[in-house]
Amino acid sequence: MSNEINKNLSNVVEKSEGLQRSMKTHQIMMLGIGGTIGTGLFLGSGYVLQQAGPGGTLLAYLFGALIMYLMMLCLGELLIEMPVAGTVQAYATEFISPSMGFTVGWVKWLSYAITIPAQLVASSIIMKNIIPSVNSIIWIVLFTVLLFFMNAVPSDKYGKSSFIFSSIKFILIVVFFILGVGMITGLIGKEPVGFANFTNDGGLFPNGAKAVIMTMMTAAFAYGGADIFAAAASESENPEEDLPRAIHATIWGLIIAYMATLIVLTAVLPWRSADLAGSPFAYVFKLAGLQSAELLVNVVVLTSALSSANAFVYSSTRALWSMGNYNQAPKFVSKVNDKKVPMNALIVTMLFAAAAVVSSIVAPGTVYLFLTSMTGTSNIFIYILYAVCLLIFRKQYKAKGGRIEDIKFKTPLYPFTPLLLLTLCTILFIGMFFDPTQKLALVFGIPTYAAFYIGSSLYNKAKS
């Protein structure tokens, strides 16, 4: 590898130094899994099953898995060469322009930060169902304080608590899978359920191809957050060894968790009953004869919501800290305390989350609607930039005399992989225009992203 390439890669990494490198592979991996598995599986799968049928559900989530897989492969090459917390914001700044880095940095932070209050509100509603006598606001405050203190500790301690938190959710998925297999084979219940739901009542695709295509967007968004583990790149104990393992473990952990769960769900639950049952998991537990099915599902969703919120607090804090290092956010957010925790960025993130909770109560149809809609296209935007940054990185790498065999994590089937990711993300964008539930995200998102980019470009031009 040439000295010029080494210098360029080192410059990117040096801008993100200052955090404590103490997180291990299993902790980084579970950060990605914990941040991804959530309502998209526990609640959204019911909608997809009711619309697309059993075969359509499996196809839709396989489509989402393919996009996630391609994104992770593109991210992997960039991440191993430049293990930085800012990821797409840092890469876009270096390989496209500072204005694009500014734009995607703020879009990413806002989309992650706005997810926190959504999970807090969901958690408070669940606790209200479990303990009706306690006001939801009290739960929101308690959970906010809990998340703050979980993220205010050094990265090694955060990694341990986050791993335990996310593991609970994973264990619950395993329990659901075992129960479902027992029902399919007849070990649980009066008689085996088998796979009759794959052939009865219209078969695998009862509502045709159009229904499958329209649900693919919902399924694709269910994998949003898979790249959240990359925020730990600047705190990985040994990034060259830990990150490749974490990438592969996160990819296959998510695919196996989703597909195994969905095969059981579609086999046990008739597609006409899915959307009517609230959480499809509750219906399956009831079919298994569990009297406390509602409480069990509440625990599943509560754990899911809080572990996701915990992962998004961590990732959004590192995203804001990275922007401070690049002078794309106020400089004070780039400061770390004596425990190497970006405390200022954490405080700003939690204050924003608290303000968003308030806006969801006092202005749900204006401020909160704008924030949630504006960030609705953020995952697709970020995925597109991963692919573009990889294409530019490879081009510059070769132009400066770099040898492909020296790249530590080579994206398979390059350049087909990033080009296919770009194509599929473009299809998703187009599909959103035809989905009334997604169109608002485009109406608010595209003009806001353009305003970020134009504003940053004008500022940078005036400054230079």
Q: Which residue has the higher pLDDT, 179 or 7?
A: 179
Is 202 inside a domain boundary? yes
Is 230 inside a domain boundary? yes
Range of the domain at 374: 20-454
Q: Is residue 23 classed as helix, strand or coil in its secondary structure?
A: strand
Cβ atoms of 28 and 236 within 8 Å: the answer is: yes
Q: Give how far the C-alpha of residue 163 lies from the chain's centroid of Cα atoms, to the nearest Å.
A: 16
Is 14 inside a domain boundary? no
Is 460 inside a domain boundary? no
Is 11 inside a domain boundary? no
> Is the pLDDT confidence value at 6 over 70?
no
For residues 375-392, give the mean pLDDT: 91
- pLDDT, tens only, 313-335: 999 999 999 999 999 999 999 99
- pLDDT, tens only, 9-46: 666 666 667 788 788 888 888 888 877 887 677 777 88
Q: For 331-439, where are the E strands, in sequence order? A: none
Q: How confident is the model at residue 385 (pLDDT cuts 50, 70, 90)?
A: very high
Predicted pLDDT at 370: 65
Please, what is the average pLDDT of the chain?
85
- pLDDT, tens only, 394-450: 999 988 888 888 898 999 999 999 999 999 999 888 887 777 767 778 888 888 899
Dmax over CA atoms of the chain, in Å, equals 76
Is 4 inside a domain boundary? no
Pick the closest to residue 293 from 278, 275, 272 (CA basis).
Answer: 278
Length of the chain in terms of residues written: 464
At residue 342, what is the residue type?
Answer: P
Q: How confident is the model at residue 63 (pLDDT cuts 50, 70, 90)?
A: very high
Residue 200 dihedral angles phi and psi, to the nearest 5°: -75, 160
CA dist 303 and 170 (Å) reads 10
Predicted pLDDT at 50: 85
Q: What is the CATH number of the domain that holds 216?
A: 1.20.1740.10
Alpha-carbon distances, residue 116 vs 178, 369, 464 (angstroms): 31, 15, 37
Q: Which two tokens stand for residue 187?
A: 């070990």
Q: Is residue 236 classed as helix, strand or coil in its secondary structure?
A: strand
Pick the closest to residue 120 from 354, 463, 334, 427 (CA basis).
Answer: 354
Is 118 inside a domain boundary? yes
Alpha-carbon distances, residue 330 vs 100, 151, 234, 321, 327 (angstroms): 17, 21, 20, 9, 7
Predicted pLDDT at 68: 94
Is 266 inside a domain boundary? yes
CA dist 356 and 367 (Å) reads 8
Q: Which residue has the higher pLDDT, 161 or 345?
A: 345
Q: How confident is the model at residue 3 (pLDDT cuts 50, 70, 90)?
A: low
CA dist 82 and 239 (Å) reads 9
Indicate the number of domains in the chain.
1
- pLDDT, tens only, 275-313: 644 567 777 777 777 766 667 777 777 888 888 889 999
* Helix pair 343-362, 293-325: axis angle to 10 deg: 130
DSSP letter for 278, please: S
Q: Which two tokens stand for residue 283?
A: 């219906």
Predicted pLDDT at 219: 83
Q: Which two tokens stand for residue 112?
A: 């992650």
Q: Lowest-pLDDT range, 143-157, 222-236, 394-408?
A: 222-236
